Amino acid sequence: MRAASFVTLALLGCTGTIIGPRPEVISSPATGGGTATSTPGGGTTSGPEPEVETATSAIPRLSRREIERSLFDVFGLRGLATRNLPADPPSSVNPSTLAEEEAFDTLADEKAPSAVFVEGLETLAFEVGRDFVANPASVATLAGCTPSGSGVDATCLGQLVDVVALRLWRRPLTSPERSELLTSATTVATMYGGSQHLVAVRAAVTSLVESPEFVYRTELGTPTGDPAVVTLTDRELVGRLAAFLWGSAPTAQQLAVVQAAPLDDAALARLVDGLLADPKFDAQLEVFHKMWLRYDGLLISDSALAADMLGESDALLRRALSQGTPWTRLLDSDQSYLTPRLATHYGLTAPASTGWVTMPTPRAGILSHGAFLSLSSTRATETLPSRRGAMLARRVLCQTIRPPPKDVNIDNGVVVAPGSCKAQAYQAHRARGGACTGCHVVLDGLGFGFEQLDGQGRFRTVEPDNAACAIQGVGDVGGTAFSGPKELMANNRDLITHCAVDQLGRFAFRDRHLARQHVDRFHQAFTASSHDFRQLVRSIALDPRFRLRIQERP
C-alpha cells in the first residue's frame, strides 16, 4: 500500500517546495533524463514506472567510524582514526534538489579527499604501524608465526602481509603487489640497527593502511547485459556486506568462503546469518538509529538530566530491536525507561527506582523523549513549531524540503508579538499567502501537533510566556488531524515505516536515496513480517539489488 502522499499539499502554490514520497520518475544523468529502463535487482514493476537509478562510485570510501572499527578488529587498536581523521559531515546539499539533507556517514558523495583527510590518513597509518609493533606478541599472533634470526624473517613477514592485506584490502595481494611491498619494507628495515623484523612489519603495515585499497572499497564488478549495471564479485559483495552489517572489515574466514567456491544462495544466506549473529551487528543497528534520529546530539545543559534522557532513548531502542519485538515499538510504545529524576522532570510520578513506566497520552515512543525533542529548540523550553516540523518532515516522514526563496530570512522564525499567542501568530503568517504559505502549511501542521511537549520533553497546556494562550497541541498530516507523537504514529504508521526503510536504504547503499521501487518492496516485506527490523536488514542484504552497482553509461 502506498504511503500517504504529501504531493497534493506540495502543489498548493508552494514555491519553497516540499517533495513527498518521491515522484514516479526522476531523470537520471546516466540516461540523460530519458524514461525508465531496466529495474536492476528485479522486483515487480507493476503500477508506477520504476525510478531510474543514478550512478554510484566504484570506490566508495569508508567513513571515519568504519576505519576506526576496521583497525580495531584487525589490529586491536582504538582511537587512532578518531584522533587523526576529520569527522564525516552530517549533512549535504543535494545537487538535484538543492535541498540540504541530513546525511549518514556512509554517503559516498561527500567524501572528497581533502588535505586534512589525506594528511590525517598518513599520520594514522604511521601511528597504526608504530603502535602495532609496540606489542610484538600481537604481531606474532596476527601473523601466525614468530620471526627467527636477527634480521627480517621474510617468510614470517610475508605471512603477516598476507593476513593484513586480506583483511584491510578485502582481497589477497597479487604477486607484484606483494613483492613490491615486501621489498620496500625490507629496504627500510635494513637501515635500522635494532629489530629489523619489527621495523619491516611496521613499514608494511603503514603502507597497507595508507594505500587507497583500504579506505576505498572497490566495487568494480563484472558486466551484466545492461551497460549501466554491474554485478559485484563475490569478494566485493563480502566487503559490502561487512560494511553494511558491521561497519567494519570482513574476517579472513568470510573471505576464505568466497575464495573456496562461488557464492550460491545458500552460502550467501549462511554468510549473512553469520554476520547478523555477531554482536557487531547489534552495535551497527544502534549506530544506524542514532545517526538517523540523532537523539544523542541532545541539547540539554543539565548533564545528569542529559544522561537520564540518553538512557531512556537507548533503552527503548534496544527493546525495539530485540528479538520478537515489533520495531514499531520504537515509535508507539507507551512505556519509557525512566529514572526517578527524569520522571519528575517530565511531571510524572517518580518510580521507586529506575525502570519501565507507562506514559500518558500524548506521549509514545522515542519522538516523545526529551533527547529527541531538544534537537529543534532554541531556548531551553521554547519551541519553533516550523523548525520542529521541518525536522520531523525530513527525518521521520522523508520529505525533501527545498531551500526557501532567496528573499526569505528563516533564521528568525515567525514573529510572535509580545502578548499574543503563538498559534494565532503562525496562523496569521500562513494566511498572508505568498512564498511562505505552501511550506508552512505542512511544517506548522507537523510542529503544532507536538507543541504540548516543550524543548525538554515536558508536557504543557499553556504557553510559557503567556498563560492566557492555551496550547491545543493539534496538528495535521495530509489533512488528517493528530495530537502528539502517539497519534502521529497511529495515523501515519505506513508513511513512517516506509520512511524508516527509505533511511535504511540510504545507509546501506551509501547514496542519497534508494530507488522507490526497491524501498516499496522492502517496505512490503517489512510490513508482512510484523515489522521485524532484523528481518528487514536480512532481506536487504540478501536481495539481488544489493549485489549490483549502477554506473555511468559509457
Partner 1 sequence: MKPFRLSRRTVLRGALGTSLGLPMLDCMLNGNGTALANGAPIPCRYFVFYCPTSLVGSGSRQEGLTPTQAGATWDVRPVLQPLQTQGVVADVQVVSGLFCAPVNVPGGYNRDHHGQAPSAVMSGVRSGWTGTLWRPQGWSADQLIAKVIGTSTRFPLLYYQLDSQTGGTYVSFEETNGFSGEAARVYRGVQPQLSPAAAYRQLFTNFTPPNAMPDPQATLELRLRQSSLSYTKDRITALNAKVGAKDRQTLDEHFTRVRTLEQRLASTTPPTISPACRDPGAITDPPDVDTNLPDQEARAQRFIDCIELAFACDATRVLTLGGASVMTGPGMRHPQWRTVGGLHGEVQHASTQANLDAANRWFVDVYARVLARFKRTVEGPGTVLDRTVGLFVMEGGKGLTSDAQRSGDGGGDPNHSLDNSVMLVGGRAGGLRPSKHVNLSGRDLHHGVVFNSAMRALGVPGQLGEISGTVDALFM
What gap in Å lies between CA 512 and CA 94, rounded to an integer?
8
SS3 93: strand
Binding positions for partner 1, 335-374, rule CB under 8 A: 374
User: Which region, judged by CB under 8 A, interacts with partner 1, from 82-90, 260-268, 389-397, 466-474?
Assistant: 82-90
Task: Kindly state the smallest distance separating residue 56's Cβ from partner 1, in Å.
Answer: 10
Three-state secondary structure string covering 342-381: HHHHCCCCCCCCCEEEECCCCCCCHHHCHHHHHHHECCCC
Task: Kindly state the smallest distance separating residue 124's Cβ from partner 1, in Å.
Answer: 10
What gap in Å lies between CA 255 and CA 240, rounded to an integer?
12
Distances (CA, A) of 262 to 160, 234, 268, 333: 26, 7, 10, 44
Using CB under 8 A, count the residues that bind partner 1.
75
* 189 in Cβ contact with 147 (< 8 Å): no
Instruction: Supply φ then ψ for residue 335, to 5 degrees.
Output: -120, 145
Beta-ladder partners of 463: 466
Please identify which residue in 36, 71, 125, 439 interacts with partner 1, judged by CB under 8 A: 125
Task: Kindly state the smallest distance separating residue 471's Cβ from partner 1, in Å.
Answer: 19
Q: Give the residue with the Cβ less far from partner 1, 199 or 321.
A: 199
Binding positions for partner 1, 446-505, rule CB under 8 A: 455
Contact call for residue 192 and partner 1 (CB under 8 A):
yes
SS3 383: strand
Task: Kindly state the smallest distance separating residue 238's Cβ from partner 1, in Å.
Answer: 19
Q: Binding string, 266-305, against partner 1, x = CB under 8 A?
A: -------------------------------xxxxx-x--
Q: Binding string, 407-446, against partner 1, x = CB under 8 A?
A: xxx-xxx---------------------------------
SS3 89: coil
Distances (CA, A) of 54 to 143, 177, 183, 545, 548: 42, 33, 42, 14, 12
Q: Give the residue with the Cβ less far from partner 1, 119 or 273.
A: 119
What is the residue-wise DSSP string for 484-552? HHHHHHHHSHHHHHHHHHHHHHHHHHTSS---HHHHHHHHHHHHHTTS-HHHHHHHHHHSGGGGEEE--
What gap in Å lies between CA 85 and CA 267, rounded to an integer?
36
Q: Give the residue with the Cβ less far from partner 1, 31 or 211.
A: 211
What is the residue-wise DSSP string for 215-264? HB-----EE-SSTTEEEPPHHHHHHHHHHHHTSSPPPHHHHHHHHHS---
Task: Kindly state the smallest distance separating residue 317's Cβ from partner 1, in Å.
Answer: 18
Task: Kindly state the smallest distance separating residue 286's Cβ from partner 1, in Å.
Answer: 18
Task: Kindly state the smallest distance separating residue 96's Cβ from partner 1, in Å.
Answer: 10
Binding positions for partner 1, 54-73, rule CB under 8 A: 55, 57-59
Task: Kindly state the smallest distance separating residue 78's Cβ from partner 1, in Å.
Answer: 15
Q: Give the residue with the Cβ less far from partner 1, 136 or 403.
A: 403
What gap in Å lies between CA 117 and CA 429, rounded to an integer?
45
What gap in Å lies between CA 304 and CA 310, rounded to an integer?
10
Contact call for residue 207 and partner 1 (CB under 8 A):
yes
Report angle CA 243, 307, 489 to the nearest 5 degrees.
65
Please identify which residue in 379, 465, 481, 544 interacts with partner 1, judged by CB under 8 A: 379
Going 244 to 246 to 251 to 253, the CA torsion angle's sign is negative
Please identify which residue in 187, 322, 358, 424 interacts with partner 1, judged by CB under 8 A: 187
What gap in Å lies between CA 409 and CA 377, rounded to an integer?
18
What gap in Å lies between CA 317 and CA 331, rounded to an integer?
9
Please identify which residue in 203, 245, 293, 501 interacts with partner 1, judged by CB under 8 A: 203
Binding positions for partner 1, 382-411, rule CB under 8 A: 403, 406-409, 411
Q: Binding string, 83-122, against partner 1, x = CB under 8 A?
A: xx-xxxxxx-x-x--x-------------xxxxxxxxx-x
Contact call for residue 193 and partner 1 (CB under 8 A):
yes
Q: Give the residue with the Cβ less far from partner 1, 458 or 493.
A: 458
* 268 in Cβ contact with 238 (< 8 Å): no
Please identify which residue in 206, 333, 400, 492 interacts with partner 1, judged by CB under 8 A: 206
Q: Give the residue with the Cβ less far from partner 1, 47 or 405.
A: 405
Type of residue numbered 434: G
Q: Give the residue with the Cβ less far from partner 1, 82 or 480.
A: 82
Task: Kindly state the smallest distance separating residue 398's Cβ from partner 1, in Å.
Answer: 20
Contact call for residue 35 and partner 1 (CB under 8 A):
no
User: Which region, judged by CB under 8 A, interacts with partner 1, from 14-22, 36-44, 191-199, 487-495?
Assistant: 191-199
Contact call for residue 228 and partner 1 (CB under 8 A):
no
Q: Give the residue with the Cβ less far from partner 1, 232 or 331.
A: 232
